[in-house]
Structure 1
Amino acid sequence: MDKKLIWKRLLIGFAWVICLGGLVVLMGFIESKKASVVCTAVKVNIPGNQYFIDKQEVDQILQANSHTLVGQKLENINIQDLENKLRANPFIEFAKVYTEMDGVLMVEVSQRQPILRVMNHYDMDFYIDQHGLKIPLSSNFTARVLVANGYIDELFTNHVDSLHTQLAKDLYKTADFIRRDSLWDAQIAQIYVNTDREIELIPRVGSQRILVGNADSLNVKLRNLQAFYKQVLPHVGWDKYRTINIKYTNQVIGVKNELTKADSAKMKALKLDSLKMKKDTSQIKM
């Protein structure tokens, strides 16, 4: 019984040795085959509907159009160097280069996705992408994203960079929140930063400005605003208020557009309609 077990183990071990040996031979054959294969073509794949960079620009980066790649032996092409060249482009987020056995050099490129265009206080213009990184504008393509302007102090040095000011980080959080919500993505047309460095939203419907303040508790603030839209504006009209202040977490304050004669007789200053809301926003006290 012990001898049978020993022979069984020996046979299993011998089978593994044969398999590993075959694998080594196969890898050696592939490497020798690759050493004799030359690059016959360069194929570039850029998925998505952004057009910051096209295949011609990728070819220029790789220098494929000057035949420095086509005709070379695959073993002489530095794949890592090509990937590094591609990743140095500010519009490319990810790049992968590999070769096929038939000599085709495959290039896969993923572009950065902007979610906000910023026009700062110093006339600098740049995008913020989905990861919160600043990227330059493109001469090839203009992304249809929210625009933020006004008193924005975030600087841009024309290369991919992280956000440095808290205001810029709040703008990114606000734009990211809006784009993920179908209601607000359709309703909000622009973001403005006022002289107090507070964030205001400019809606597509209505003439009022929505004072958000900062990006804290955005889900609560905009839930309160939605309740205000449903319960108040249908009764008073969309142009009743000049400003809707939602910067306080559980309160909505509507600043009237203009005063009636009755209001003027009662008070000379602009009257504020303070609408205190409960946390569940199901009831609004006027």
Structure 2
Amino acid sequence: MKNKWIYIKISCMLILMVILAAFTNHRHSSKKIKAIDITYHQENQFFVDKQTVNKLLIQNKKRVENLSQEHLDLNVIESHVQAHPMIENAEVFLDIDGTLHAKIKQRKPIARVISEEQYYIDINGKKMPLSQNYSARVPIVWGIKNHQIHEVFKLLNFIQRDLFLKQNITEIRVYPNTQFGLRFRKQDFKIFIGEIDHLNQKFMNFKAFYVKAKKDNLLKKYKRIDLQYGNQVVCEKIES
């Protein structure tokens, strides 16, 4: 009989705990959003400002500030934020204090295209719209057609992985038959690389030439550096 009462007491306590937990959870979920906290993975690049992100935090055309926590669908809100063309990824979650957090990872441009259509090429080789909030300092690409983006991205990707080139290549120009030329920071000469092949060899040759010509103070004497001929660096001097 004694054991029976113990079981009854334990059962009652468990039922009471479940009721209290359900009541507490209901009170918590019925509360409105206390605050919104927006943070960025990148620093000093705000293609999408906090005001814009805040406007994206909606569900069924309702701002999250007007919704109770129990009616929030974080997956829907997160998907809506990630659909913005300047955002690569977003993480949206709610903490126990009732603050809605949005962690934003913006897309990263590696070049800006100037043609009939202006846009960025991002780190994944895809088109990225320009932003009214921020202008990225990246190389300018001229003369590109849509079908040439893949080839241009090969060159951009190579430049990105080489610190010397990344710091000094300011322009890429696409010529007929998908031939490529470059402009070098603070230099008047043009670099012609031809097709996107043997890039490692071509730029190794260029670096060797550049170091020697700079040491001999000859860089300003050239107007064109041609790297398309295998192991050769063909230089055209400025006519005196």
Using the size of structure 1 for normalisation, the TM-score is: 0.69
Q: Displacement of 1:245 after TM fit?
A: 1.1
Q: Which aligned segments of 4 or more residues in structure 1 are displaced greater than 6 angstroms?
A: none
Paired residue for 2:156?
A: 175
Would you say the 8 A contact 1:46–1:55 is kept in 2?
A: no
**Counterpart-to-counterpart distance in 1, 2:161 and 2:235:** 26
For the aligned residues, what is the CA RMSD?
A: 2.7
Question: Is 1:193 paired with 2:174?
Answer: yes
SS at match of 1:132: coil
Would you say the 8 A contact 1:212–1:246 is kept in 2?
A: yes
Question: Is 1:129 paired with 2:122?
Answer: yes
Give 1:271-282 correspondences, 5 Å limit.
none
Question: Is 1:59 paired with 2:51?
Answer: no
Q: Unaligned stretches of 5+ in structure 2?
A: 1-13
- The one-letter code matched in structure 1 to 2:127 is K
SS at match of 1:70: helix
Q: Displacement of 1:201 after TM fit?
A: 0.8
Question: Which structure is higher in RCO with an 8 Å CA cutoff and minimum separation 6?
Answer: 2
Using the size of structure 2 for normalisation, the TM-score is: 0.81
Counterpart selection for 1:44 from 38, 46, 57: 38
**Counterpart-to-counterpart distance in 1, 2:79 and 2:56:** 10
Question: Is 1:35 paired with 2:29?
Answer: yes
SS at match of 2:67: coil
Q: Displacement of 1:63 after TM fit?
A: 4.3
Paired residue for 1:153?
A: 145
Identity percentage of aligned residues: 32
Paired residue for 2:192?
A: 211
Counterpart selection for 1:109 from 86, 104, 112: 104
Paired residue for 1:161?
A: none
Q: Displacement of 1:204 after TM fit?
A: 1.9
Paired residue for 1:184?
A: 165
Q: Unaligned stretches of 5+ in structure 1?
A: 1-20, 155-164, 261-286
**Counterpart-to-counterpart distance in 2, 1:59 and 1:204:** 39
Give 1:7-46 correspondences, 5 Å limit.
32=26, 34-46=28-40
Which deviates further from its counterpart, 203-212 or 172-181?
A: 172-181
**Counterpart-to-counterpart distance in 2, 1:226 and 1:68:** 55
Distance 1:236 1:39, change over 3 A: closer
Give 1:56-95 correspondences, 5 Å limit.
56-63=51-58, 68-95=63-90
**Counterpart-to-counterpart distance in 1, 2:71 and 2:211:** 67
